Amino acid sequence: MAKTEFKSESKRLLDLMINSIYTHKEIFLREIISNASDAIDKLYYISLTDQNVGLNKDDFKIHIEIDKPNRIITVSDNGIGMDKDDLDNNLGTIANSGSFKFKQENEKNDDVDIIGQFGVGFYSAFMVASEITVETKKYNCPTAYRWNSSGVDGYEITEIEKDTVGTKIILKIKEDTENEKYSEYLEKYKISALVTKYSDYIRYPIIMEMEHRKLREDCDLEHPEYDEVKEDEVLNSMVPIWQRSKKDVTDDEYNEFYKQKFFDFENPAKVFSNSVEGIVTFKSLLYIPSKVPFDYYTKEYKKGLQLYSSGVLIMDKCPDLLPEHFAFVKGVVDSQDLSLNISREMLQHDRQLKNIAGTLEKKIKNELASWLKNDREAYEKFYANFGRQLKYGLVADYGAHKDVVKDLVLFYSSTEKKLVTLKEYTERMAEDQKEIYFATGESIENIDKLPQTEYFRDKNKEILYCPEEIDEFAFQSMGDYNDKKFKNIVNEDIEEEAQPNDENKNDDSTLKFIKDILGDKVQEVVFSKKLKSHPVCLTAKGGVSFEMEKYMSMAQPEARVKAERVLEINASHPAVNALIANITADKDKAEKYAKLLYSQAVIIAGLQLEDPSEYADLVCSLMN
């Protein structure tokens, strides 16, 4: 009998499929099973009004059989079945060429993993099978057919004898090669694991005969005896945990599900489930881990939620469902409004996904906000793990998401000596304070000792200590919080009138003297308005802070981003007075004092001395 050729597009996709070194080969089973489930759905629907079907809901089943010696997997269903036209139209061509077009358009982009994301249905079986046979009988059709194909050169359809309505998909599994192993698909434990992984929540039982040891009845329990028995086992649990009503699921069940599904040893820090009905209807079950995944702050970490369509896993990690700032969230989304087949209007998919993602972002935000409000301690633990990620949300996309995260971030307060929110800070602000003060530095302890923070502490003004690089970027991209601007007090001048130190401060010649000695090392030397007990400090002018300089020199050394250094001197400090006195009395000594004070300022600012040994010599020469 002459072979019928596949339609040309199908042929090319088949070629792609057969020769793909595609890593997710295992999804073939998911595709075959969900086709079976769809077919059962159709016949079940008919059976509701048509007595002749003769089947009740409980009669619908999917069977898997494995014939290891002959390398055959058979998946049978008692669904609607196919007639000759169906076989020609459905298995002879790709139902809708959309998926293929999508693949072609994105061929250059390896990231677009269309097969893994949405599957290409039946054809994916050619990734693992060298030959596929379909035996099928359609409901209300007198004839049954066999469809057979070994790949690109086409397929044959013949009439066969088959009593029962439904479809049998018979896969002849490929032989192993050096690089590709297929034999594992002939292992029952593997197939059973794949069903649990991808098709656990298919609403009809997926049955396979399993062998296990069974305790022999009436045997002496001191010397137990076992029989090897074969029993049909249902592989799937059929009801997803997220479909059950919250009150029927125990904390333990939620936690166990999390640990199994997301490979964590510890219970999650937070569980929340949602049922949303609207433009897109979906259910979600989300978790926040209690520990930072080991690869979290690396490129290896892939964010995303498991995406199901009516209980069938479409995608293991759908990144589009989570914004970057909530990348730590794990969980499951299930929507009946998503179709399994990407070919059905890609755009529509996109819109639905965006809608779900938008709703989820709001849900997560609200959940975190109420956590912060109601259990501060637990929230702070979470924050220690993932706070950096939230702050990332303030910076990303030029601050486009700041409203989502601004009330979820915490900073260490100089007066409260603990983490506070920006809201708490601004609510405490004195009426005459116009700006939110923050100070950047190496660590909380370090910032606390900066000469620049002393003045504010003495005046009992609250400062947010920012030891993380991202903090300063975060404030910059936020611009303000509830109309209060941010001010880095390490760098910027304070608005308050200068403390009248003494007459020295009008003496420009002192400043000029020091500037001449330091040369290019500093942009400027000024009398400080904020120094109290310290003689000098170094501040940065022109928008680039020292923390940014440090960060940029690591992240982008070639950009050579440098902070403009300003040396502030405290005109009423004895050390500075000694310097000033020596400008006329002993110029050589005055020069050494100037260099020494500058070096101290550099060290306190947490920067590297240009020449440490010169500094050491300087100290020694002054001790002599």
Which residue among 16, 39, 191, 422 contacts ligand ADP (CB under 6 A)? 39
Residue 120 or residue 596: which is nearer to ligand ADP going by CB?
A: 120
Write b or e for each residue in 386-399: b if 16 or more Cβ atoms lie within 10 A of its Cβ, otherwise e: bbbbbbbbbbbeeb
Torsion angle defined by CA atoms of residues 274, 275, 276 and 282, in that order, rounded to the nearest 10 degrees: 100
Is 31 among the residues that bind ligand ADP (CB under 6 A)?
Answer: yes
Residue 14 or residue 340: which is nearer to ligand ADP going by CB?
A: 340
How many CB atoms neighbour CB 117 within 10 A? 17
Write b or e for each residue in 581-603: b if 16 or more Cβ atoms lie within 10 A of its Cβ, otherwise e: ebbeeeeebbbbbbbbbbbbbbe
Residue 343 or residue 491: which is nearer to ligand ADP going by CB?
A: 343
Which residue among 14, 43, 73, 80 contacts ligand ADP (CB under 6 A)? 80
Q: Which of residues 109-168 bind ligand ADP (CB under 6 A)?
A: 121-123, 167
d(CA 319, CA 315): 10
Which pairing describes strands 305-309 and 330-335: parallel, antiparallel, or unpaired? Answer: parallel
CB of 136 to ligand ADP, least distance (A): 7
SS3 readout for 212-274: EEEECCCCCCCCCCEEEEEEEEECCCCCCHHHCCHHHCCHHHHHHHHHHHHCCCCCCCEEEEE
Tell me how many degrees the CA angle 566-571-573 measures, rounded to the nearest 5.
110
CB of 347 to ligand ADP, least distance (A): 17
Q: Candidates 35-43, 109-117, 232-240, 316-324: pick the segment binding ligand ADP (CB under 6 A).
A: 35-43
Which residue among 36, 307, 329, 494 contacts ligand ADP (CB under 6 A)? 36
Residue 46 or residue 444: which is nearer to ligand ADP going by CB?
A: 46
Q: Name the strands in the sheet holding 330-335, side by side, starting at the edge strand that comes first in the sequence.
A: 270-276, 282-288, 330-335, 305-309, 312-318
- Residue 490 has φ and ψ, to the nearest 5°, of -70, -35
Binding mask 287-326 for ligand ADP (x = CB under 6 A): ----------------------------------------
CB of 186 to ligand ADP, least distance (A): 21
Residue 311 or residue 451: which is nearer to ligand ADP going by CB?
A: 311
CB of 307 to ligand ADP, least distance (A): 16
**Count of residues in the chain:** 624
Residue 312 or residue 321: which is nearer to ligand ADP going by CB?
A: 312
CB of 359 to ligand ADP, least distance (A): 26
Q: Candidates 80-88, 190-198, 300-308, 468-476: pick the segment binding ligand ADP (CB under 6 A).
A: 80-88
Q: Which of 565, 485, 575 is nearest to 531 (CA)?
A: 575
**Cβ-proximal residue to ligand ADP, closest one:** 121
Q: Candidates 87-95, 173-181, 194-202, 203-211: pick the segment binding ligand ADP (CB under 6 A).
A: 87-95
Number of chain residues interacting with ligand ADP (CB under 6 A): 18
Contact 16, 98 (CB under 8 A): no
Residue 77 or residue 591: which is nearer to ligand ADP going by CB?
A: 77
d(CA 231, CA 151): 35
Contact 92, 3 (CB under 8 A): no
Q: Which of 529, 530, 559, 525 is nearest to 541 (CA)?
A: 525
CB of 486 to ligand ADP, least distance (A): 53
Q: Candidates 78-86, 103-111, 317-325, 524-532: pick the segment binding ligand ADP (CB under 6 A).
A: 78-86
Residue 75 or residue 604: which is nearer to ligand ADP going by CB?
A: 75
Specify the DSSP class assigned to residue 517: H
d(CA 165, CA 140): 9
Q: Which of 85, 112, 111, 89 is nearest to 100 (CA)?
A: 112
Q: How far is CA 539 from CA 96, 265, 550, in A?
A: 65, 47, 14
Which residue among 18, 46, 72, 95 contacts ligand ADP (CB under 6 A)? 95
Is 463 among the residues that bind ligand ADP (CB under 6 A)?
Answer: no
Binding mask 332-361 for ligand ADP (x = CB under 6 A): --------xx--------------------
d(CA 498, CA 528): 8
Q: Which of 355, 339, 357 is nearest to 98 (CA)?
A: 339
Residue 35 or residue 359: which is nearer to ligand ADP going by CB?
A: 35
Is 90 among the residues that bind ligand ADP (CB under 6 A)?
Answer: yes
Residue 340 or residue 470: which is nearer to ligand ADP going by CB?
A: 340
Q: Candidates 79-87, 181-189, 245-253, 438-446: pick the segment binding ligand ADP (CB under 6 A).
A: 79-87
Lookup: tokens for 347: 């755009």
CB of 340 to ligand ADP, least distance (A): 6
Residue 340 or residue 602: which is nearer to ligand ADP going by CB?
A: 340
Residue 149 or residue 341: which is nearer to ligand ADP going by CB?
A: 341
CB of 335 to ligand ADP, least distance (A): 17
CB of 75 to ligand ADP, least distance (A): 8
Place of tokens 């000594």: 589
CB of 138 to ligand ADP, least distance (A): 8
How many CB atoms neighbour CB 167 within 10 A? 26
Q: Which of 382, 410, 401 is nearest to 466 (CA)?
A: 410
Q: Which of residues 569-608 bind ligand ADP (CB under 6 A)?
A: none
Contact 6, 89 (CB under 8 A): no
Q: How far is CA 339 from CA 34, 511, 577, in A?
A: 12, 73, 79
Residue 104 or residue 477: which is nearer to ligand ADP going by CB?
A: 104
Please report, in angstroms and rounded to a whole number, the separation of the first and last CA atoms in the chain: 109
Residue 123 or residue 598: which is nearer to ligand ADP going by CB?
A: 123
Task: Specify which residues 481 forms β-bridges with.
Answer: 484
Q: Candidates 33-41, 260-268, 360-368, 419-427: pick the segment binding ligand ADP (CB under 6 A).
A: 33-41
* Residues at the contact surface with ligand ADP, assessed by CB under 6 A: 31, 35-36, 39, 77, 79-82, 90-91, 95, 121-123, 167, 340-341
